[in-house]
Structure formats: C-alpha cells, structure tokens
Amino acid sequence: MDMNATPPVDSGKTRDIALYIHWPFCLSKCPYCDFNSHVRADIDQAAWKTALLADLAHEAAELPGRRLVSIFFGGGTPSLMAPETVQALIDAASGHWKVADVIEITLEANPTSVEAARFGDLAHAGINRVSLGLQSLDDETLRFLGREHSVGEGLAALDIAQAVFDRVSFDLIYATPEQSEPQWRDQLSRAIGFGTSHLSLYQLTIEPGTRFESDVRKGAFAPMDDDRAAALFETTQELTEGAALPTYEISNHARLGEESRHNLIYWRYGDYAGVGPGAHGRRGGMATVRHRKPENWLTAVERNGHGMQREDTLTDRERAVEALMMGLRLREGIARDSLAARAIDEQALKRLVSQGLLTVDGNRIATSPQGRLVLNGLIAELVSEDMLAA
C-alpha cells in the first residue's frame, strides 16, 4: 500500500472511526461565527479535563471494537486548552480503542502570540497536525472579521507551527464585501507560497444568529453578490490546481496524500464519536448530540456521566440523503452502489449530467467544476422526491 495515500474508510466489522473533541471557549466571538463558541472570564481547566474524560469514556463504551484513525480538537479555540488536558484525552482515547499505526491528531489554533507559545507543548502532548485560523493576509480585513491577531502575528505563528508540527493547514476567508479578484489572486498566491500541504479556503457567508447577520439587516454592509463570488471561486480553483493543491472537497485543497483524514471520515459518511459541548457524532444508524451550553453540558456530565442531550435513530432515507449531501462535496464523489446513491432521482441524474453539472465515470458519480458552483441547488434537484416524501 502507498503509505502516502489517504486511506479509505474501513467498511469491515471493526470499522474505522474518528474522534471529535469540542472545546467551546474563545477569547472573543467573531462576528461571522455560528459555531458553538463562548467567552468566559474564568475556566477551571481541571474540572474540564475531568468532564471531557468522562464524556469520552461513555462514548467509547458505545463504540467498542473499533480502530481509531483520527482525533480532532475543534472549537471554539482548543489551542487555549491546557496541554496536559490534551495529552490526557489522547492517552485515554488510545486506551479505549485500538489505534491506527499512523494516527492523525489535529488541533485548531488561532495565531495569537499567546497560543503560538503553547505549540511546542501541544506537539509534545501528541498533536501532529495543526489547523491555523489565519483567515486573511490583510490587516484591514482581519479587523473587519473581528480577529484578535494581526497579519504579522499570524505569520509568526505559522512559522512556529511549521517548525513544530508534522503537518500544517491554515484557513483563509475570501469574498468579503469589497474584495476584488486581483486582491484575492495576490493574497492566495502569497498563501500558496508559504508551502503548507493543506489549505481551507472559505467564502464569507452570513450565518443566521451572527452579528454579521444583524449588520447586514441594518444596512451596515452588503455581502458580495453571487456572480462576483463565483468568479473568485474559479480563481481559487485555478491557482490551487496550478500549485498541485487541488480541491478534494469544495472548500479544501491539499497535496496528494495530505488530505484531512478526519474530515474524510465525515464526508465519506463514516462513524465518528463526538465529545464535549454541542458535539455531534454518528454511530451507524444513530446520530448523537451533546448539550450545547458549556454549563449545561458540565451539569449533565456530573449527573449522568456523559453530556448527551439526544440520540436519534436515523431512517434509511435520512442516512441516504445525508450521505449524498456529504459525498458530493468531495471531488471523488460517491460510488454508484453506495448508500448515498439510493437517494438519487435517476432522471435528474441524467439531466444534470447532460447539463455538465455532474459526471459519471465507471462506478463514480461526482460534481463537475461547474456543478461545485451551484452545489446546494444541484443536490436539491438530484434527491428523489420519494426520498423527500418518505
């Protein structure tokens, strides 16, 4: 086997799983962010370590006999976690499950100097991949996005990360209201030049319940229109393809073999355990949801030994539609004989292929570059009415 290739999800009886651990705290709330993040003046690190370990133990008991291929610390801002807590959780997970020979252990980090100073300790704790939230290489845009760091501080953190961690990815947000195509081309070209093996490139979206939604409603600014945003998306594909960082998921780009193994578990509709406030998980035909508010989650763990709010049994229809929605985000698409394909309207498939929005190659169905521009509408048209009515 090519050790550099991204391994597929094991479909045998002892299926591969991923573990997601949510740390819900941030230094401040970004105006575009709709993630489960909270600002607190004081955080009892010891209490949180104890509670996360208990929640993890409960989830591991529900998923026996699996092989763990990835751990992902997300948030919030998990680089604010004590490295001792990170190491305790990695050690506990390694005791609960059989661990892959090469396991990917990712932590999301913001590039402030306070957090960058912890990178060495986090690497020692077992983190081997970091996802850095640079978000922009323009100071004015960073202020607009409500970020805590400057461009200079972010690039210093990137230098430290590349020296400390085996693998480094970073995020950029584009299609901000006044951004031009030349500006984005220059910024992305510069970003590619930093030499990381993975980039996550997201268009700015105005999410419900965020401060940006309120600002747009009040007329403080107008989002970029769809045509201009589409042009920037095409620029993104052009530059990343040319730099051997092709898109493997609609917003993610990597060198061959450097794809996020953790996120591939999600997109390929594999099982994953979700631990911590607001964390979602999937165990076969069951979707799990933890209590979202940190204090409610802590109370639940103290009372029940876990932070579970809900366990929902998914119908075959729900699973097929979810698998289709996730799988078509990937460049590789879905298999013709997969769970996801059961949700497809065959007449719609033929029509969308004829329109150049989907491709069928042997056993694979995938979106074309043109189809990725209109992915949400494409999926809505592709899903069988029988599935929607079931």
CATH number of 16-267: 3.20.20.70
DSSP-based three-state secondary structure for 44: coil
Residues 154-165 have pLDDT tens digits of: 999 999 999 999
328-368: pLDDT as tens digits: 999 999 999 999 999 999 999 999 999 999 999 999 999 99
pLDDT band at 245 (very low <50, low <70, confident <90, very high): very high
Please report the pLDDT score of residue 15 as a whole number: 86
CATH for 316-389, among 3.30.565.10, 3.40.640.10, 2.60.40.1180, 1.10.10.920? Answer: 1.10.10.920
Percent of the residues in the chain that have a pLDDT greater than 70, as a whole number: 95
pLDDT in tens, 160-213: 999 999 999 999 999 999 999 999 999 999 999 999 999 999 999 999 999 999
**In the chain, which segments carry CATH 3.20.20.70?**
16-267
CATH 1.10.10.920 in the chain is located at 316-389
